[in-house]
Amino acid sequence: MVQKISAVRGMNDIHGEAADAFDYLVTTAESTFKQYGYRSIRLPIVEKTELFCRSIGEVTDIVEKEMYTFADRNNESLTLRPEGTAGCVRAVVQGGLAYNQIQKLFYTGPMFRYERPQKGRYRQFHQVGVEVFGLATPDVDAELIVLTARLWEKLGLNNLELQINSLGSQEARVSYRERLIAYLNDYKDQLDEDSLRRLDSNPLRILDTKNPAMQAIVEGAPKLIEHLDAESVEHFEQLKAHLDDLDIAYVINPNLVRGLDYYNRTVFEWVTTELGAQGTVCAGGRYDGLVEQIGGKATPAVGFAMGIERLTALLMDHDKVPVLAKPDIYVVLVGNNVQRSGLILSEKIRKALPHINVQMNCGGGSFKSQFKKADRSGARYAVVLGEQEMSDQVVSIKPLRETTEQITVSWDALTEHLVQLMSV
């Protein structure tokens, strides 16, 4: 036998319940975003490498060691997108979309990071993201948070904790950076390799460490939130007031700095304790400087991205995935010459009852085997066309879940009967 070819490590096929959960999450998210007046944007999966270096930051996990970068046939350095914000900003600048207008956008799709694959952490993973351009006020930060809260509510996920923090202005960060370096210097002999390297280049990133051995040092560090500029304090106060008004509970996590360089002011994460170490299911914040950094006119912006795999894992663990593809009606076709009429009748039902799922038995089989399939499909009714029904131009409608009687109806009256049966 020829040797099988497996998928690339960390890049998974998604099927069965996981695929149902994926679709359910994405459709629910997108309809929620539309309810708030957000619009879809579709973006390329591949971008010029420089875009990510310039936006995410050179001294970040992503740019240092996680990007799938390659030279194309023209020797241009390209990268599979590790996240969606950079490409979205690039598109908005390139399309002139933020010029004297507000944009409220959402996108869905695969992202790629060369990380160590484990539960909730893959090399190809998927995000649903939202970005808003042209608004600097905290009402929009609050809107993004309330919108995600509404989504969790719709999905039946009620164990997520909201953590918020403020990173202040770039200037406030510069002076805080000095304080932080001074503090961390006293613990130089205890810092891990990554943190040592970042001590001078990007010390804030050390606060984002996932290394438990570093936690005590990080806990004792001076807090950025205590050294904010006055406008950022005011912005944060207003955000908290909005969240209070909307009854959205939050905790302030002063060590929440996020893994990307471009954030300022508001940052937030939705976290669960149910997925082990990979507990953040949604993360975002304000990035007022990024549009300019990518070559656009200075434009305030704020956004978030949620990890689809982590959320679908939660949905499945809590049995919150509706079976979307379950047929309501299973069409049983037994005998010679029933296929042609069977196809016509199935189409007629689908057309007359557009919200009802109709699965037609394909490939033949005995009554017994077809009824077994009909039963296993979860359908409520079997519509049966055998040779006798065929010659009488009728079908039988047999309830599969209820104890009501089987009935026989003419082809002409079939859809009318089904409309009636399915309405109760």
**Footprint of ligand ATP (CB under 6 A):** 83, 113, 115, 120-122, 125, 127, 259, 278, 280-283, 305, 307, 309-310
Say how many C-beta atoms besides its own lie within 10 A of residue 309's C-beta.
Answer: 24
> For residue 121, what are the β-bridge partners?
118
Residue 348, judged by CB atoms within 10 A of its CB (0-12, 13-18, 19+), counts as: middle
Task: Closer to ligand ATP by CB, 309 or 389: give it.
Answer: 309
- CA dist 140 to 7, 103, 189, 192, 409, Å? 41, 12, 43, 38, 57
Element (H, E) at 394: strand 394-399
C-beta of 84 vs 342, nearer to ligand ATP:
84
Q: By C-beta, is 113 or 265 nearer to ligand ATP?
A: 113
Q: Residue 70, Cβ neighbours under 10 Å: how many?
A: 12
With beta carbons less than 8 A apart as the criterion, state whether 57 and 347 touch.
no
Q: Quote the least distance from Cβ 258 to ligand ATP, whole Å.
A: 6
Token pair listed for 192:
């891990």
Phi, then psi, of 208 in degrees rounded to 5: -90, 10
Say if strands 381-385 and 358-360 run parallel, antiparallel, or are unpaired: unpaired
Cβ 123 to ligand ATP shortest distance, Å: 7
Least separation, in Å, of the C-beta of 17 and ligand ATP?
18
- Is the C-alpha dihedral spanning 347, 349, 354, 357 positive or negative? negative
Smallest distance, ligand ATP to C-beta of residue 353, A: 39
Rounded to the nearest whole angstrom, what is the least distance from the CB of residue 352 to ligand ATP in the complex? Answer: 43
Residue of 201, 210, 32, 2 lying closest to 108 (CA atoms)? 32
Least spacing, CB of residue 115 vs ligand ATP, in Å: 5
Distance of CA 411 to the CA centre of its chain: 45
Strands (E), 280-328: 280-286, 301-307
- Based on CB atoms, which residue is closest to ligand ATP, 133 or 287? 287
The whole-angstrom separation of Cα 390 and Cα 385 is: 6
Letter for the amino acid at 265? Answer: R
Q: Tell me whether residue 160 or residue 382 sits nearer to ligand ATP (CB atom).
A: 160
Which of residues 103 and 209 has its CB atom nearest to ligand ATP in the complex? 209
Q: Identity (one letter) of the amino acid at 11?
A: M
CB of 55 to ligand ATP, least distance (A): 12
Question: For the chain, how far is it from start to end, CA to CA, in angstroms?
Answer: 54
Among residues 120 and 134, whose Cβ is nearest to ligand ATP? 120
Closest CA to 89 of 252, 320, 292: 292
Q: Phi and psi for 243 in degrees, rounded to 5?
A: -65, -40
Give me the least distance between CB of 219 and ligand ATP, in Å please. 18
Closer of 203 and 307 to ligand ATP (Cβ):
307
Min CB(383)–ligand ATP separation in Å: 43
Residue nearest to ligand ATP (CB): 307
Rounded Cα distance, 25 and 6, in Å? 27
Nearer to ligand ATP, 106 or 371 (CB): 106
124 or 339: CB nearest ligand ATP: 124
CB of 301 to ligand ATP, least distance (A): 15
Cβ(395)–Cβ(332) under 8 Å? no
Distance CA 370, CA 348 (A): 21
